Structure 1
């Protein structure tokens, strides 16, 4: 859980918020890609960070899902916290999460119950041994392979404050066939009406107050699926840290009834308080608390 928050907070792999163009354009083969990769690697040195992240999904111009989150993470404290608000049409849900060294605490906004998931010790043993499934160089090679010749289409502009704006904008025929194939496969499995899944109590009737009927209605595309555009932008500051990012992907296709859809997915992330962030905490004394066994929590996540 902690690693997931840290990865989200670092913003690795997300696109970035486009700034008003300023300064001299420095457009050269591969230079933008190398600049972004360097900033991503530099993010691994951050001890703590605050990330404000939003995700929106629109179907034919109508928003069907909005997620707003504020995440605070600290490697030194082995702690993280997050406030998340999800809106799907007329339904809303708010969640607060607190990650400490030996447990995760989750609370929904419409309940006074704090659910505590205690660690089983296995993850800590891996961390203490310094286990790493992939070396940083391996991940870099994977990224290079996935980007292929697209790296030459990444542009870079220098800003007057010493930072950079790195962008990758692909439209229509510029999008590789492999990307379209992967996108089509993902959307065929991602559409439909899904029940909300906001924690380890998912599908547990004894925790019904956690909005089990919360549903997200996304169109299920089955035919003529095409990625129309991919826009990724990253703002890198003068110290070579990623400051803001955005990613916008537009996909068209038809559902089983033949109706046409244009799905637009937008993700924005702003990073701040680098090496100055202190995650929020909660005092459980006097609170309504439910403890969930680690094996039950993990089983529920696997089912989701």
Structure 2
């Protein structure tokens, strides 16, 4: 026998009772708050990922334009300043867009900004080196990012992002050196400095024991040899090789980038060797190659 059919009114009454119990549950507001927080977290994460990609793309374009520079220790040419102005503005806008999202604990909650920070450090340090022939410090870089972040608060530039960006900058110095040697036929160097030769006599000896010959001898000047990009690369390699990163992902990244850094410095050394030592053996118009490969010998029959 078939049981009695449930009426339509009974089903509607049970459905209403279920909704009433659901609305009266004390856990629903709590889970709705979790849902809202997760939605905000995912939206914030997507904004940071997009900003990091845009910062990376703009920084690469800045580096490409800087590779057209052929001087060292001087302000970059006007065409470089004009060409890169829009990219610096793009980076500043992206930092301002996410500045409010990475304040407080959120500064360490979203590592997706790391890629953009490293690429920005590569462009910033490369531009700073071309103009001053010095390495920009971490405090200066951190202040530059904070200034570009606007009134919402500074975007955190971690020491790890700074160091990894400096490692990447070595590769740009290698490309700059190779291109300059192929174009100008010499390794880029700064301006020579003139220093007055200081006499060894002290102030006390000048008044009593000073000879007549010394009085007639004028102070001579000597010109110091300018620092080259290769000498700076060697000094930078020495300092970075003494760095102990420890374990974790940062340590693995440092060790991987350190191997690339050594290869970059070796390429500049080999290119300079080929230009100075073997350059006389080559025909006119020869340019240094980064890597020379021996041609296979012709088989004899």
TM-score (norm 2): 0.21
Higher helix residue share: 2
More contact order relative to length (CA 8 Å, sep ≥ 6):
1
- Higher-strand-fraction structure: 1
